[in-house]
Amino acid sequence: EVQLVESGGGLVKPGGSLRLSCATSGFTFSSYSMNWVRQAPGKGLQWVSSISSGTSYIYYADSVKGRFTISRDNAKNSLYLQMNNLRAEDTAVYYCARGYGYKNLWGQGTLVTVSS
């Protein structure tokens, strides 16, 4: 079955860190660009970061640049997001999504709550 499964979310204090993971299966992970997209409670979708299939190209939204790091392990078919210096405004469901332009496969999301 083709799927993306996120994990690693939780409650963290402002200034803290968290590492999200996205385990993939059912397709050739190493052939696809991957992304993190987030959605704050009751709000719309916000692109966070993208990484190309061979990690040559990495992009970040301005709001997370310098604090978040996207990475992937093609041998483990997994995508990661290291989030440091977290802020209250980073509270959101974080989705892993496949695709360079349009995102044709999404995980179910993992909730990150930043609160003291």
Interface contacts to another protein, rule CB under 8 A: 37, 44-47, 50, 59, 61, 95, 100-104, 106-109
Instruction: State the Cα–Cα distance between residues 84 and 101, nearest whole angstrom.
Output: 26
Instruction: State the Cα–Cα distance between residues 67 and 72, nearest whole angstrom.
Output: 17
Complex with another protein: residue 16 or 27, whichever CB lies closer: 27
Shortest gap between Cβ of 15 and another protein (angstroms)?
25
Shortest gap between Cβ of 84 and another protein (angstroms)?
20
Using the 8-state DSSP alphabet, how is residue 32 labeled? S
Shortest gap between Cβ of 21 and another protein (angstroms)?
16
Using the 8-state DSSP alphabet, how is residue 30 labeled? G
